[in-house]
């Protein structure tokens, strides 16, 4: 079941990126809602474009691959089933973005949230998977901490 979800989510991320690549010109913004645009941006760095232009794409891909391997081994050491799901979401998002980076030397980001002069850097579904995974792990560990202190 987990392997099926893993591949399904990667395919969904891939097809949404491909759709954006084919339908929206690079650096173009299309307003969907007053607080959300769909765009076509190439992220050559890591999260939020950090280190863009500082490290070559192959180096970022190499470090990403090592981190994915570490997280996979860490996931197998965990006994909590919900926490395993959290790690699976993180791994899925990381593998999907790594695939982009290996194929294109960049990650395609296309969801752009903003409000007035405040904005959140563009992201994609793989980034959402990673965020969901982190939130699940935080929740599980908060509940464990709370249970120990009750």
Residues known to be catalytic: 109, 127
Compute the distance between CA of residue 52 and CA of residue 13 in angstroms, rounded to an integer: 22
DSSP for 14-54 reads: HHHHHHHHHHS-TT-EEEEETTEEEEEEEE-SSGGGTTTTT
Give the residue carrying structure tokens 């993180």.
90
**Using CA atoms, how far apart are residues 141 and 66, in angstroms rounded to an integer?**
24
């Amino acid at each position: 079941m987990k392997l099926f979800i893993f591949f399904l989510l990667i395919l969904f991320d891939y097809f949404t990126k491909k759709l954006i690549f084919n339908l929206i010109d690079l650096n173009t913004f299309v307003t969907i809602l007053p607080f959300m645009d769909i765009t076509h941006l190439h992220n050559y760095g890591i999260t939020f474009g950090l280190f863009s232009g500082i490290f070559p794409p192959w180096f970022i891909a190499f470090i990403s691959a090592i981190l994915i391997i570490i997280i996979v081994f860490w996931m197998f050491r965990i006994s909590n089933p919900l926490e395993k799901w959290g790690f699976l979401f993180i791994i899925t998002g990381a593998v999907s973005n790594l695939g982009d980076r290996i194929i294109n030397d960049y990650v395609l980001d296309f969801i752009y949230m903003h409000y007035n002069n405040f904005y959140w850097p563009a992201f994609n579904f793989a980034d959402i998977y990673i965020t969901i995974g982190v939130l699940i792990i935080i929740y599980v560990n908060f509940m464990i901490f709370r249970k120990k202190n009750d």
